[in-house]
């Protein structure tokens, strides 16, 4: 079943994303056809940009507006004006690359699985404490929707009781989550860098072999404020700089991957050759103090059955080597060796997917270490902690399951502080580390 119903429905939705020091993408979805004006204001008064768009049914009434020529490290307001509604919001631009300005951001993933869909009365409670954090931006690390699950049952908000198999259905799944009042309020005030994982299409899908991938990808691009690549409009991996202290590399771990069932080895890839070169060269050449890699699937947590590993690790559920492994550890380890040999320091992997929170320090060789931070779910079936891949010589600093959560990172010149925060706003754990 494709699902989705009429595309002309709902409320005026807005968001901003893919913000740089001098530009931002303003995204919108109107409740009905008709022209829209987008205004960006400085300090709530002076209009610095005004754009007109006319979203059509072919794009499900969505539009993305790239706003250039902005000032670095500046908070802007924006207004989206439609015949039936007006919506205000705000975002902050990045500092220039040589400014050692503090940065605060959030990350998490996994929103709205079958038993944890949007509630008619309370929606998704997790967005309230996220909004209160007043972060510079949010990294949405995959499973932004569960297009392959049905949302039904007592107290569940209507509109999601179908499995998406068409573009209209995938779009409706995104619209269902984004119309949540808490999500709407959060995305009005906090810009987002979004990436997909598997449930935007189908559980554990492998890119080129999945016939539904182009449909799910089209809806994902329609519903998130992603700055399009002029040479490759379906490209999702990208990087952005946030002053002297931070550079973020957002990976696409789905679109180019080999089948999960293939045996691990030199010929198996999660990233594809072009993305892998882009990642290694970008990290090696980065002058930022901290290099953050966003991977929707974890580096060190074994997932799914051994015959079709879905994440990077090829280890058993006990974290140990196995024969005929099917993960992507050969590629992972080759990337890490190259980064070690090139002297990359202060590397942090951010992940979600496994529905539990964990902070890990990996020390695969005496002269090389890095951190992996996992958060989530935002609202999904609780996962469980498990042994980590011993090949990375991991040390778990904190692990917690059974709670909806997000992570917060604050980077200052002297140190990086990471917190895991639950749906009530309580901090479950805090860890601080200085740069090497």
What confidence tens digit (pLDDT) does each residue in 213-269 have?
999 999 999 999 999 999 999 999 999 999 999 999 999 999 999 999 999 999 999
CATH 3.60.21.70 fits 96-433, yes or no: yes
d(CA 332, CA 352): 17
The DSSP symbol for 65 reads E
At 372, give phi and psi (nearest 5°).
-130, 125
Q: By the 8 A CB rule, do 215 and 200 touch?
A: no
pLDDT at 307: 79
Percent of the chain having pLDDT more than 70?
98
Q: In 10 A of CB 40, how many CB atoms?
A: 23
On the question of pLDDT at 1 being above 90, the answer is no
Average per-residue pLDDT for the chain: 96
3-class secondary-structure state, position 433: strand
Q: Which of 423, 379, 424, 372 is nearest to 398 (CA)?
A: 372
Beta strand ranges found along 178-226 (DSSP E): 191-195
Q: Which of 3, 4, 2, 51 is nearest to 24 (CA)?
A: 51
On the question of pLDDT at 392 being above 80, the answer is yes
Percent of the chain having pLDDT more than 90?
94
pLDDT at 9: 57
Q: Which of 218, 199, 288 is nearest to 246 (CA)?
A: 288
Structure tokens at 148: 């392959």
d(CA 353, CA 377): 8
3-class secondary-structure state, position 342: coil
On the question of pLDDT at 49 being above 90, the answer is yes
On the question of pLDDT at 8 being above 70, the answer is no
Strands 62-67 and 394-401: unpaired
On the question of pLDDT at 181 being above 50, the answer is yes
Q: Which of 38, 34, 94 is nearest to 66 (CA)?
A: 38
pLDDT at 305: 77
Arithmetic mean of pLDDT, 381-386 = 96
> In angstroms, what CA-CA distances link 139 with 58, 295, 392, 419?
28, 11, 25, 15
Please report which confidence band the pLDDT of residue 2 belongs to, taking 50, 70 and 90 as the band edges.
low
Q: By the 8 A CB rule, do 371 and 315 touch?
A: no
pLDDT at 5: 46
């Amino acid at each position: 079943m494709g699902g989705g119903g009429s595309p002309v429905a709902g409320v005026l939705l807005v968001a901003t994303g893919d913000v740089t020091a001098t530009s931002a993408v303003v995204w919108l979805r109107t409740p009905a056809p008709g022209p829209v004006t987008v205004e960006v204001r400085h300090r709530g008064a002076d209009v610095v940009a005004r754009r007109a768009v006319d979203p059509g049914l072919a794009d499900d009434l969505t539009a993305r507006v790239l706003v250039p020529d902005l000032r670095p490290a500046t908070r802007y307001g924006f207004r989206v004006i439609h015949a039936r509604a007006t919506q205000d919001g705000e975002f902050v631009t990045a500092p220039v690359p040589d400014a050692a300005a503090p940065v605060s951001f959030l990350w998490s993933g996994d929103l709205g699985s079958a038993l944890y869909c949007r509630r008619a009365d309370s929606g998704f409670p997790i967005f309230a404490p996220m909004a209160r954090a007043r972060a510079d931006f949010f990294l949405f690390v995959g499973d932004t929707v569960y297009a392959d699950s049905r949302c039904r049952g007592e107290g569940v908000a209507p509109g999601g009781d179908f499995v998406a198999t068409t573009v209209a259905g995938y779009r409706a799944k995104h619209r269902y989550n984004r119309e949540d009042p808490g999500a709407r309020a959060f995305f009005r005030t906090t810009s987002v860098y979004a990436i997909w994982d598997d449930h935007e299409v189908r559980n554990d899908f492998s890119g080129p072999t999945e016939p539904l991938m182009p449909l799910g990808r089209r809806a994902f691009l329609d519903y998130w404020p992603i700055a399009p690549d002029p040479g490759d409009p379906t490209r999702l991996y990208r990087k952005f700089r946030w002053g002297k202290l931070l550079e973020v590399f957002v990976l696409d771990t789905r679109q180019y991957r080999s089948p999960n069932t293939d045996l691990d080895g030199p010929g198996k890839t999660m990233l594809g050759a072009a993305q892998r070169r882009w990642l290694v060269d970008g990290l090696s050449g980065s002058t930022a103090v901290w290099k953050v890699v966003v991977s929707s699937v974890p580096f060190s947590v074994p997932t799914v059955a051994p015959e079709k590993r879905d994440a990077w690790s090829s280890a058993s559920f006990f974290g140990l080597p196995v024969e005929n492994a099917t993960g992507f550890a050969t590629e992972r380890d080759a990337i890490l060796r190259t980064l070690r040999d090139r002297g990359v320091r202060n590397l942090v992997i951010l992940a979600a997917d496994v529905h539990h929170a964990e902070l890990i320090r990996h020390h695969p060789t005496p002269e090389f270490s890095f951190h992996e931070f996992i958060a989530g779910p935002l609202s999904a079936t609780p996962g469980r902690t498990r042994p980590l891949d011993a090949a990375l010589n991991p040390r778990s600093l904190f692990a917690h399951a059974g709670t909806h959560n997000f992570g917060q990172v604050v980077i200052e010149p002297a140190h990086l502080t990471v917190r895991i925060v639950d749906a009530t706003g309580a901090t479950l754990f805090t860890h601080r580390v200085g740069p090497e």
